[in-house]
Amino acid sequence: MMEIEELKEMKPAKFGFYYGTICGGISFAFHLLSQWLGFTTNFFYGLIYSFFVLFSLMWVYKKYLTLQEKENGVEFSAFMTIGAIFSLTISFFYLMFTFARIEFLDPNFLNLIAEMAQEMMQQSGMAELSLREGYVTVLVTSFLGDFLGNMFYAFLLALILKNRKF
């Protein structure tokens, strides 16, 4: 862990990346453990991950607030910068887990998704998708879905905490 003085001097983007990497590593371990235990199909899997991201983001914002000057409030833009970089970083770890899941942990996962997608596309009259296109689509949508969800939390918390003095 870094010294307090080093943390105080960090710009919001670096602060978000630092803690995003720590929380991203923890979330990666959570996803691997959940996959190993067969917990990834459970409703509570997504709920636990969402709470983890929300509370991690709250902890990071609180940590940033405690390191700032007490008489100055923290601006909305600083919170959004921290939240955006934190969200990008933790979503990158989720993307790495999704890649590992498809390639190593559950090779049948992509086939199941491809079958469901083909059925939906046939019902709607759309052209079929190749497995290679499906692979890229799964990776991109998992990253974007996770990132947008995390940014939603970051935005709400930034609105609540902007210009607060603690």
More confident residue, 8 or 28: 28
Q: Is the pLDDT of residue 157 over 90?
A: yes
C-alpha distances in angstroms, 47 versus 31, 82, 97, 109?
12, 23, 17, 21
To the nearest whole number, what is the mean pLDDT of the chain? 88
Question: Is the residue at 39 inside a domain?
Answer: yes
Q: Which of 127, 101, 126, 97 is nearest to 112 (CA)?
A: 101
Q: In terms of residue numbers, what domain contains 84?
A: 11-161
Spatial CA neighbour of 12 closest among 88, 74, 61, 82: 82
pLDDT for 155 equals: 96
CA atoms of 8 and 15, how far apart (whole Å): 9
Instruction: Tell me the torsion sign for CA atoms 141, 145, 151, 152.
Output: positive
**Weakest-pLDDT range from 15-29, 49-63, 125-139:** 125-139
Identify whether 109 is part of a domain.
yes
46 belongs to a structural domain? yes
Percent of the chain whose pLDDT exceeds 70: 90
Check residue 131 and give its pLDDT: 61
pLDDT band of 52, cuts 50, 70, 90: very high
- Taking the CA atoms of residue 25, residue 150, residue 87 and residue 55 in that order, the dihedral angle to the nearest 10 degrees is -60
pLDDT above 90: residue 2 = no
Residue 149 is assigned to a structural domain of this protein? yes
Say which residue, 86 or 116, is predicted with more confidence: 86
Quick: pLDDT tens for 93-120.
999 999 999 889 988 887 777 777 777 7
Quick check: helix, strand or coil at residue 159?
A: helix
In a domain, 4, yes or no: no
Q: How many structural domains does the chain have?
A: 1
